[in-house]
A and B are shown apart, each in its own frame.
Chain A
Amino acid sequence: MRLRYPILWLLLGLFVAASVIVSMPGAGYARQDRDATLAPASASHPAGTDALGRDRLVRVAAAFLLSLAGSVIASALTTVAAAGVGTLAAFGRASMGWSSMVVCDVFLALPWMFLLMMVRSALPLTASPARSATITFLVLAALGWPASARAVYHGALQLKSSDWMLYARAAGLDRAGIVRHVIPSLFHLLVPQFLITIPAFVMAEANLGALGLGVGEPLPSWGGMLFELNNSPMLMQTRWVYFPVALLVVVLLLLEGVAVEA
């Protein structure tokens, strides 16, 4: 990756701007200005306030950071799991390869929305918003690895039958040595998988939040803010209610752009 790509610079710029906004003195994503609910844009609230008088800009910035951090960590976990399962399946016994792919298929066939609902309802009621956010992203990671594992498996199988691998095995390279050489050779697969999964997780969290299953109040999330769009009288009161969805589209385009560039 080269930082000279404008997309990456834009994304980094957004990240820095969001970090500055949430760390400014007096900026609290849960702070309610009860005398300024659904206020229009002003010097004190540049993107107005929501129905509870909370600064929309601060909440959008916090949601962006939370979503990005959660999605990057979940995507990293997914990629590590996919690399492990795909490599073991390709270089292990044939039965292991076959059974691993069956497990992948089963995971891909799971009704993940219902699974997430079950997990959410099984959480203790006193689970803090931060904990519920962590669990949401962990569940996304747990459900997101099989597609990547399939891609890694097929890449690893090609490596296994490549000429250099045959030479290496003929020369007596042990299993640990093989893995040491194979993993770097799979980077060209793992990095795009990692980058592609990030916007997918951002979107998944937004969808969950819009269904009321994501991050709990007062922690802001894309989905929670998209939920506001369900109220048509509010749509007619302020156009700033579209701000979160507009930024979400921009962020998703940038993340997709980064993945394509990579």
Chain B
Amino acid sequence: MLSARRILIVFSALLPIGPATIGAAQAAPRQPGELAWTIGYDPKTFDPAKVDDEESETVRYLTAGVLLRFNRLSQKVEPELAQAWSISPDRKTITFSLRPGLEFSDGSSLTARDVAWSLRRVLSPVTAAPVAEEFVSPAGVTVDAPNDKTVIVHLPQPVIAIEKVFDEIAIEPAGRPSEGRVTSGPFVVADYRRSLYVRLHRNPHFAEKDSSGNPFPYATGVRLDILENTEQEIRLLQRGDYDLIDSLPPDYFELLRKRAPALVRDLGPSLNTEQMWFNQAPSSPLPAWEREWFQSRAFRVAVSQAIHRSDLARIAYLGHATPAYSFISPANTVWYNRSLATPRTGLEAAKTGLAAAGFRLQGTVLTDAAGHPVKFSLLTNTGNAAREKMATLIQQDLAALGMQVTVVTLDFPALIERLMHTQDYEACLLGIENVDPEPNAMMNIWLSSSPNHQWNPSEKSPATPWEAEIDRLMNLQAASAMDSERKQAIDRVQQIVADQQPFIYLVYPNALVAVSPKLLGVQPAVLEPRLTWNIEQLRIQGAR
């Protein structure tokens, strides 16, 4: 995840992992009470303000002290270094009150001056902190520290879910950025060997304590081995060398389940979605009749109705995915529309809908009213086995309607060139990785003027009344201060999308993890980091 509030189209090609590449795992012996797991590559930075890649974010999460923490399990914001906070009625001023007696890992005091300095550093264009853009207009944000315990942040304009931004900002000693060596979080960076491991030590001055008054974190340290080999990772987990795997592909999950069923856990649907869509862009070089099919609601709904989503989940994800009908996953407990009405599925319903729209089945070939045979290509990215399987399953499902689908796999650069620039494609199957449950983070997909409005990018004005309504509702929820009004708007957008099927949602891949039975305190959450979000509470059995 590049940023906890960003939505990413999954650009990773997910190259197959060969069984022969055995890296230099277990480069250092485990120290008493130390937790160990793997990260896929070297963190690009240890500077918490400059984090822009997943593994750097892992280190930041483990080391950074933050004012507020977004609880991955309850999906609510909780105080951490701040004992309380308040937002003004105009939502432009946030006031934090710091806990008493805060210290950095080197024993120096942590005051409002340090907080203000850390926030200003993140907001400064010189730092080029990726998180700054989440303030929308970072240049206009000012930070005051009227006394040692109070910090006031003034925003030029209200920002939706602003509290969660502070979950990503590490509080460092004023004027002494240390790249994680001096922190106010549970751990500090103690040692880093390129391509081998990152070792973190416990921060003895961490502010939080358990209900009995014992200091957090329980673990003496964390060793993150740099290893990109899932097979070796699960072998070392089985051997007890590692304590957890935060994310597993379905085939490796099944492999481990057969070997050691007690280690694996399927947490149910993740926030991520897999979907297909048709190119409706008027500027695309497609024949006019094809564009007419793709712009037809009846055509899109019939395709959606004919796809056996349960087969996609069962076969392409070995049962570790959940059929999807909305852009918001049921794992997103706050925003998922539980009363969503979806079109009736099944082949007969699809055939009826197509016939009503003028399509005719001539022998085994479906033709439109003008006699054009319905055939199109379905693009997906090379190397993603689950997507390739889904595309082939959909090919057969749609063949039952008389549609001739050609499955084409392209490498990512070629795919993006077609999607974003030439728009020379008919249909596409890809996934969206949602790392933030906040639907406002999806504005770039739903606003018709956005270049990421994939089925018809960068519309000068909404092409259809329902796209205009989505624009209106998304803007309404972005401007509203009332959670109930926002929820109502997002529920309505979900219903419009289910009715119109501009994206035909297929599955939510499940969140798959593995945990050693010796690791205590684990409370798995669907949101990342799934197993280590409560890192301060984790410990190895018998270690204390």
Contacts and interface: CB of A to CB of B under 8 A. Distances in A.
Interface of A: 30, 32, 34, 37, 51-53, 121, 125-129, 212, 216-218, 230-236
Contact of A30 (B379, B391, B396): B396
B375 interface: yes
A51 B16 contact: no
Interface of B: 16-19, 231, 251-252, 254-255, 308, 311, 314-315, 375-377, 379, 382-383, 385, 388-389, 391-393, 395-396, 406-410, 414, 424-426
A80 B138 CA distance: 70
Contacts of B379: 125
Contact of B393 (A52, A127, A232, A233): A52
Given A34-B311, A233-B251, A126 B231 contact: no
Contacts of B252: 233
Q: Which of A121, A125, A126, A230 has the most CB of B within 10 A?
A: A125
13 contacts: A34-B308, A51-B315, A52-B315, A52-B392, A125-B377, A125-B406, A125-B426, A127-B406, A212-B409, A217-B407, A231-B251, A231-B385, A233-B252
Contacts of B393: 32, 34, 52
Nearest to B249: A233
A217 B315 CA distance: 17
Contact of B406 (A30, A37, A52, A129): A129
B395 A217 contact: yes
A236 B396 CA distance: 28
A232 B391 CA distance: 22
Contacts of A129: 406
B367 to A, nearest CB: 16
B19 A216 contact: no
B410 A121 contact: yes
Given A30-B396, A125-B406, A217-B391, 19 more contacts: A34-B308, A34-B311, A34-B314, A34-B315, A52-B389, A52-B392, A125-B424, A125-B425, A212-B383, A216-B407, A217-B395, A218-B407, A230-B16, A232-B18, A232-B19, A233-B252, A233-B254, A234-B251, A236-B255
Contact of B389 (A51, A125, A126, A232): A51
Given A125-B408, A126-B406, A230 B18 contact: yes
Contacts of A235: 19
Contact of B375 (A32, A121, A126): A126
Contacts of B408: 125, 216
A154 to B, nearest CB: 41
A204 to B, nearest CB: 19
Nearest to B17: A232
Contact of B392 (A127, A218, A232): A218
B396 A126 contact: no
Contacts of B388: 217
A150 B377 CA distance: 41
Nearest to B406: A126
Q: Which of B18, B251, B252, B308 has the most CB of A within 10 A?
A: B251
A30 B395 CA distance: 10
Nearest to B252: A233
Nearest to B314: A34
A218 B408 CA distance: 11
A212 B376 contact: no
A38 to B, nearest CB: 9
Contacts of B426: 125-126
A125 B476 CA distance: 40
B325 to A, nearest CB: 21
Contacts of A32: 393, 396
Contacts of B407: 216-218
A53 B316 CA distance: 11
Contact of A126 (B255, B315, B377): B377
A233 B17 CA distance: 10
Nearest to B388: A217
A37 B383 CA distance: 20
B395 A218 contact: yes
B438 to A, nearest CB: 35
Contact of A212 (B377, B382, B392, B395): B382
Nearest to A212: B382
Contacts of A230: 16, 18
Contacts of B255: 233, 236
For the complex of A and B, the 4 pairs showing the least CB-CB separation, nearest first, are A125-B377, A233-B251, A233-B255, A230-B16
Given A216-B407, A230-B16, A53 B315 contact: yes
Nearest to B378: A125
A218 B314 CA distance: 20
Nearest to B234: A233
Contacts of B376: 126
Nearest to A234: B251
B258 to A, nearest CB: 8
B478 to A, nearest CB: 37
Given A125-B377, A125-B406, A232 B315 contact: no
A135 to B, nearest CB: 14
Contacts of B396: 30, 32, 218
A235 B251 CA distance: 11
A125 B388 CA distance: 16
Contacts of B395: 217-218
B26 to A, nearest CB: 20
Contacts of A216: 406-408
Contacts of B375: 126
B104 to A, nearest CB: 45
A15 to B, nearest CB: 28
Contacts of A52: 315, 389, 392-393
Nearest to A34: B311
A128 B406 contact: yes
A51 B425 CA distance: 28
Nearest to B377: A125
B404 to A, nearest CB: 8
